[in-house]
Amino acid sequence: MAAQASLQEVKPYDRARALSAFKIGDVTFYWVTRLSAIAVLLILGGIILSLVVGAWPAIKAFGLEFLVTRRWAPNLEPTPVLGALGPIYGTLVTSFLAMLIAVPVGLGIAVFLTEFCPPVLRRPVGIAIELLAGIPSIIYGMWGFFVLAPFMTDHFQPFFINLFEGVPVLGTIFAGPPSYLSLFNASVVLAIMILPFITAISRDVFSTVPPMLKESAYGLGCTTWEVVRNVVVPFTRAGVLGGVMLALGRALGETMAVTFIIGNSFQINGSIFSPGTTISAAIASEFGEASGLHMSALILLGLLLFVLTFIVLACARLMLARLDAAAGK
């Protein structure tokens, strides 16, 4: 009798109420995700708007000449002469050299970890590479100044200066004298900093290649190099390109490590062993003492860096789209 009484107390299943609860939860989830996406766009638009507002006095004062002017004289009377050509040049050169060093090394490490490394060493080596990403940038800068720069000045730079002396073009690119503070030293530090991004992402995407594809290629008599070039890289090119672009974005915007070792010179010299500056380093080194038109010019440099990064990412997406179109996707 007690069991029957308890069964009678149980409320019948209300289908309409359950469906209403599910609908409320679904609608709530939809709007939370939608508002999150909208918030990202609003933040991005707010950043762009604030940069444009802050840079507007410099835009009105210098116009397009700001992009091609080499001189940077904020204290010149009565009107400062400010130009972004030096920082733009330094940003492009250091990022290009860093990628030139880091991409082959990073991809090589990823191939080694996925194809050649003994299983007992695979995890320790991978963790050691990833730990490089956790080191603060100021530590890289101090290491570059106190350890890397003396070695480069005493051994590496003199060798290449003597090797290419008198050679057209190369003699200018590797011209002396050796310097503790140089574009090349900053590029080496940047290459070490972005290496973990390229290696970690490439290793992860290489691991997603189906073993059957590689085994089929080996069965046809392909070497490991041919398997990597014709099977692994084409299968994972989207992920590899994403890792490379992520590393390039880090190289373009790196500040403290570069500021320590690049020399903060706005002059443009054809030698990679000469001092220079980048957009981020110029902003970091002068922002604290800037005011008026000088401050506006630094904000304009930040806007240029934002646009430059956007152009690089857009080119990467366009390149990936063309690769997919060529593959018939």
Is residue 52 in some structural domain? yes
160 and 295 belong to one structural domain: yes
Q: Would you say residue 56 has pLDDT above 70? A: yes
For residues 50 and 151, state if they share a domain: no
Does residue 139 share a domain with residue 11?
A: no
- Number of domains into which the chain is organized: 2
pLDDT bracket for residue 10 (50, 70, 90)? very low
More confident of the two residues 189 and 325 = 189
DSSP string, 177-226: ---SS-HHHHHHHHHHHHHHHHHHHHHHHHTTS-HHHHHHHHHTT--HHH
Q: Report how far residue 46's alpha carbon sits from residue 100's, in angstroms, rounded to the nearest whole number.
A: 34
pLDDT of 324 over the 80 cut:
no
Residues 39 and 175 in one domain: no
Whole-model pTM: value is 0.85
15 vs 40 pLDDT, higher one:
40
- Structure confidence by residue, pLDDT tens digits, 104-129: 999 999 999 888 888 888 888 888 88
- pLDDT value at position 269? 85
Place of tokens 């401050």: 295
Element holding 145 (H helix, E strand): none
Q: Are residues 229 and 282 in the same domain?
A: yes
Q: What is the pLDDT of residue 18?
A: 65
Q: What is the mean pLDDT of the chain?
A: 85
Residues 57 and 80 in one domain: no
306: domain range?
A: 73-326
pLDDT of residue 17 exceeding 80: no
Q: Do residues 10 and 120 share a domain?
A: no
Query: Is the same domain home to 49 and 86?
Result: no
Same domain, 194 and 292: yes
Residue 91 has pLDDT above 90, yes or no: yes
The 10s digit of each residue's pLDDT in 222-259 is 888 888 888 888 888 888 888 888 888 888 888 888 99
Among 62, 92, 112, where does a domain finish?
62
94 vs 134, more confident = 94
CATH number of the domain residue 109 falls in: 1.10.3720.10
Give pairs for 72-81: CB < 8 Å, separation 24+.
72/266, 72/282, 74/286, 74/290, 74/293, 74/294, 74/297, 80/293, 80/294, 80/297
Q: Residue 67 domain-assigned? A: no
Instruction: Let me know if residue 68 belongs to a domain.
Output: no
- Among 11, 34, 62, where does a domain finish? 62
